[in-house]
Structure 1
Amino acid sequence: RDSAVPAMENTTEVSTFFLLGLTAAPELQGPLFALFLMVYLITLIGNLTMILVILLDPHLHTPMYFFLSNLSLVDFCYSSTVTPKVLAGLLTDNKLISYNACAAQMFFFALSATAENYLLATMAYDRFVAVCKPLHYPMIMTRNACIRLALGSYISSFLTAAIDVGDTFCLPFCVNNVVHHFFCDIPAVMSLACSDKHMNELILIFICSFHIIFALGVILISYLLIFITILSFHSSKGMKKALTTCTSHFTAVSLFYGTVIIMYLKPSSSHSMDRDKILSVFYTMVIPMLNPMVYSLRNKEVKSAFMKMFCRQNFL
């Protein structure tokens, strides 16, 4: 092993981890720092602005925008869990992370990812009710119902994150502390354990499979019923509008679920660390940046609300 990479003795419990990062090439550190900093700033500005616009405009106090504001909050937390540590590593070349900090990063990452998983499903269900049951929409998607759906997403995410972290850090780490990733991702950390981890991997695969299959099932069934309903109207204008909305949604869903499925629904023996790191950039940095644009900034109501807020601030 390269002498510049710190490692623990075989008989010593690991107290810190060393994150290898995306690349060891010095000439790429600066450009990557500038790129990720720009992506992070756009992510913060886009998601926080979205939350603010929805909170301040009474016309956006509807179930759809309530879930959008929650999605923006999750994306903000999602990106902030990973990106600052990546930026610090690129800027200072200090890639050490303590045992507890690694566990905390893993917990908040798993919480954010699971919450996004269920919020995407909830948004699809909301659109299903709006299109397929428009007369019953106000009675089904009440304020209390929306709050319960959001709380259910967060509670499930909290429990999942706690199980994932417990499942990983109950293993002993006594041989290697070099994480072949740019953050404390579950498969990358679990692969360092110096005991049999087959059962832990099965638990991880089962939990991830359950959440992904359930949420994807809700999304696919919701949009299948939406398409059937739109086709029954025989309205080309309505059909085009629905297809436009679904295309944006499925773009983000495909990016999110595609990377998650490749990353987590297979044993660690079939993982390619370099490929996993590239895929991880998409769902930890790129998707949180794109979501405000995909779901909201292309929406006329959100644009109108943003312009009102902007003009109001200029006249103050």
Structure 2
Amino acid sequence: MMIFLLVLLMLAPAFAPHDPLKTNLDAVLQEPNQQFPLGTDHVGRCLLSRILHGAWITVFSSLSLLTTMLVTGLILGITASYCGGIVDQIIMRISDTVLAFPDIVFAIAVVGMLGPGLRNTLVALSIIWWTRYARLIRTLTARILSRDFIEAGIMTGANPLKIVSHYILPNLIPILTVQFVIDIGSVMLLIAGLSFIGLGVQAPLPEWGNMLNEGRPYIQTSPRLLFYPGMAIFFVVMVSNITGDLLRDKMDPGNASDLIGCNMYRKKTKRQFHTRKYIVGGGELRNMNQLEKRKLMETD
């Protein structure tokens, strides 16, 4: 459902009946009609066209930000958990410092220093969101590394890269997918909130939060200027949260770590023990790896 909605929102500008930036002083604050299905704003711009183009700006900004920060958090979180020591301390202390501030307060402070605009808004939110993903992934990775199948994989000769790609990442995907979908709505709300107070996307770009800001003076005479952008934000955030909850129930990440790791290890060990031929004679062990030799010696 969320994928369908995102694709629809990305293609929304193609269905816009008018130029969202074109003003028409002869059609100021018109009520919905055949030419303008949702009416016009205070300078005669088509409200429907601006909402559709605003969807592309909001969705593209949110997805690009979250994707970049997810990759960054993935690298830093796994590195912190796998390396430990001073590396872990540095990454986590920086993360703690950023997370000590409320999201909106920190974003306002950063955008206030850098100046208003979409680019600076994304910079501010990037500083916030990489710390969220890094801390989450670091905690999950530490939990996965304590599992028996990780120790078994190391004893069978798996290098760190293989441990990460075959054991850690498959266990992280279910939880990160759920978190990513839920964060889409959260990032949209922050972008819209900063635009609403004049620090985010600037006029005349059609962004939903900026449209709410422009419609404030007309809340008594033309409440639809706030109603339609507000409903668009509400609908997308609601779908994001519902989809995240459904994915959480379907993927059941609580059992994912055990099942993925154990099944991979069982398949691997079963294949090894059934395909190898062991020759034991005269005290000589041949064609065995170190783990198998140790087990045989302990049995003897």
Using the size of structure 2 for normalisation, the TM-score is 0.31
Using the size of structure 1 for normalisation, the TM-score is 0.30
Q: Kindly name which structure, 1 or 2, has the bigger radius of gyration based on alpha carbons.
A: 2
**Higher relative contact order structure (alpha carbons within 8 Å, sequence separation ≥ 6):** 1
